[in-house]
Structure 1
Amino acid sequence: MAVQPSLATPIPAPAAARWLTPLEIGLLGAIWGASFMFMRVAAGQFGPFALVEVRLALGALVLLPFLWRARASFPLRLWPKLALIGAINSAVPFLLFAWAAERAPAGVGAICNAMTVLFTALVGAVFFGERIGLGRSLTLVAGFAGVVVLASARIAGADVGAAVAAGAGAALLYGVGINLVRRHLSGLPAAAVAAATLSCAALLVLPFAIGDWPSRAPDMRAWSSAALLGVVCTGLAFVMYYRLIARIGAGRASTVTYLVPLFGVAWAWWLLGEQPTLRMAIAGALILGSVAMSQRAR
């Protein structure tokens, strides 16, 4: 899950919709948190390439009507840029999270995902000259300390360091992708941009998915998880997120970032029996606390 920046001005919400906003933020957090559980269930049978191809293709199909409606805003000269951003912001991060899901509990990936906010600030400072100040610099240190704590853990007797590195790498790429979207795709309809980048990412992954397609057909549980991952957690979730941005703005909509790790750990504990550990709790507290302080400092 990469929370892309707003490409539109928020529209004031009517009084009747005020109660709906926190409900939708909670639902979106639950959906994106469940995505790590679905990856955990399906990755072992599909493998990373096939699973990510299913996810990208189904998510793009859900969003294609938005792209078709805004097709006049997407000339041919823009598509190489869309393909590059699709690789950075979707294809490779999704592959890294799927690879990690084969090797570590779902909660590990969900916690790493929260680093996206911090990496977005870091990439903006290092490569685009944004000033982050002392306060946000300290939050970055705290967040990275949380990653170190998580990477050094042994969960269910297994070393999860490689999976944490993959999850952190995915969050870093999300941070790069968000900065690129801000600078090169501003002014375009956000849902159409998501449809275009997901479509490009699906085409990029397709040859690898064909070559690595599982020789043994995944069972119904794995197929159901892959379908829900693509349709609900990718396609429909982005529609919900952009509706929230239009209503309340990107700043308030991004509070869903705090809910994703909590739901990710809770779903995996409840439905997969993956017990959270003390190190996971400490790492999650450090990362989410640093994200909250970073947003406040900003």
Structure 2
Amino acid sequence: MSRRGWLLFAAMSVIWGIPYLLIKVAVQDVSGPVIVLARTAVGALVLLPVALRDRPGLAQVRRHWKPIVAFACIEIVGPWILLSDAERRLSSSLTGLLIAATPVVAVVLSRFAGGAERVTPARWLGLAVGTGGVTVLAVPGISHVGVWPVAEVLICAVCYTVAPMIAARKLGDVPPLPMTAACVSLAALVYVGPAIATWPHAMPSGRVLGALAGLGLVCTATAFVLFFALIREAGSARSVVITYVNPAVAVAAGAVILGEPLTWTIGAGFALILAGSVLATSTSRLPDEATLAPTPALAPTGCRGPRGRLTVLRRPAR
């Protein structure tokens, strides 16, 4: 990649590795709905003025409003509240690592959805190894905090797999920036009522306010702009590799800033999930970049090869 491509890659690896840390800080003083509203409202305020200048793009958004609503609900409205609730009991490190199972889930769901790609022995091995990594992380978590917080994060991993499938099959004609603006705006509207009902009685601390601002400005608005630039600079196939780096950033941030423990289960789980993800998403050859169109979704979603075959790619966890 070019120097600019490497800089964008490094930025995205960090930006989508720190949301778990910021959510963990924010849940100390505010409710989940307030966190989601702050993140989506700030993102909408930044992205909407730019998106409104793209009239053809807005026309495509109106034409595809039904799948966009479905995508927004599965990609943002549901997962972001589940993550906020789960992190009241789970560490940010464990949350980031459990979300890293998304590539493994994607391979399984792609087969159930009629995906055309053959699951090779290496991919089957990757599924087994990745599942083992999730088990290593989930079992101690369940023993400490119960089943539901761990289940919430794993549900998010499933949502982060299903939403890109919808985008790849139904939203290929929609430009990414207007679509992103529409999705975060819809999510903000959904959470206005719940946020008002759970609004904090006292002003949150400066640390929490900073975390909310970071989630909206950095991890939502800025992240999507930079990610689209990374796709244009390096192509879709290379851009999804940030998924392998995000969990390490989440673990490091939790340990350094919040003092979260680095246990052998975290190390073993991360190694197994990383190895399983690499094997489960491996292909016999890297697709020709000329055949990879920029993704229409909030994150890598899919591409069509020379024969029109759909390849579902992973979305970076955040």
| Both proteins in one fold, TM over 0.5 | yes
TM-superposition CA deviations, 1:234-292 (whole Å, max 9, x none): 11011111100011111101111011110111011111111121111111111111111
Decide which moves more: 164-173 or 146-155.
146-155
Q: What are the residue-to-residue correspondences of 1:15-94 with 2, within 5 Å? A: 18-75=2-59, 76-94=62-80
* Maintained 8 Å contact 1:108/1:164: no
TM-superposition CA deviations, 1:136-183 (whole Å, max 9, x none): 23322322221111111159x933653322111111101000100111
Task: Give the whole-Å Cα distance in 2 for the aligned partners of 1:136 and 1:217.
Answer: 50
Any gaps of 5 or more consecutive residues in structure 1?
1-12
Match of 2:175 in 1: 189
Residue 140 (structure 1) aligned with residue 127 (structure 2):
yes
Structure 2 counterpart of 1:150, which letter? Answer: L
Residue 266 (structure 1) aligned with residue 252 (structure 2):
yes
TM-superposition CA deviations, 1:12-66 (whole Å, max 9, x none): x7xxxx1232232122111111111000000121111110111111122222244
- State the 1:122 CA deviation: 2.3
Please give the secondary structure, in 1, of the residue aligned with 2:28.
helix
Structure 2 counterpart of 1:219, which letter? Answer: S
Task: Give the whole-Å Cα distance in 2 for the aligned partners of 1:117 and 1:87.
Answer: 20
Q: 2:139 aligns with which of 152, 177, 183?
A: 152
Q: 1:212 aligns with which of 182, 190, 198?
A: 198
Task: Give the whole-Å Cα distance in 2 for the aligned partners of 1:216 and 1:243.
Answer: 40
Q: Number of aligned pairs?
A: 281
Task: Give the whole-Å Cα distance in 2 for the aligned partners of 1:235 and 1:289.
Answer: 31
TM-superposition CA deviations, 1:198-239 (whole Å, max 9, x none): 111221222222222223332111111011011101110111
Please give the secondary structure, in 1, of the residue aligned with 2:230.
helix
* Maintained 8 Å contact 1:150/1:161: no
Q: What are the residue-to-residue correspondences of 1:89-168 with 2, within 5 Å? A: 89-134=75-120, 135-154=122-141, 158-159=144-145, 161-168=147-154
Task: Give the whole-Å Cα distance in 2 for the aligned partners of 1:164 and 1:297.
Answer: 30
Task: Give the whole-Å Cα distance in 2 for the aligned partners of 1:254 and 1:26.
Answer: 12
Decide which moves more: 111-120 or 164-173.
111-120
Structure 1 counterpart of 2:158, which letter? Answer: L
Provide TM-score, normalisation by structure 2.
Answer: 0.82
Please give the secondary structure, in 2, of the residue aligned with 1:230.
helix
Task: Give the whole-Å Cα distance in 1 for the aligned partners of 2:45 and 2:34.
Answer: 17
Please give the secondary structure, in 2, of the residue aligned with 1:123.
helix
Where is the helix percentage greater, Structure 1 or Structure 2?
A: 1
Match of 1:276 in 2: 262
Structure 1 counterpart of 2:15, which letter? Answer: I
Please give the secondary structure, in 1, of the residue aligned with 2:186.
helix
Task: Give the whole-Å Cα distance in 2 for the aligned partners of 1:161 and 1:280.
Answer: 18
Task: Give the whole-Å Cα distance in 1 for the aligned partners of 2:45 and 2:146.
Answer: 34
Provide the alpha-carbon RMSD of the alignment: 2.0
Task: Give the whole-Å Cα distance in 1 for the aligned partners of 2:186 and 2:202.
Answer: 28
* Maintained 8 Å contact 2:13/2:245: yes
* Maintained 8 Å contact 2:22/2:215: yes
* Maintained 8 Å contact 1:40/1:102: yes
Match of 1:294 in 2: 280
Any gaps of 5 or more consecutive residues in structure 2?
285-318
Decide which moves more: 53-62 or 235-244.
53-62
Match of 2:294 in 1: none
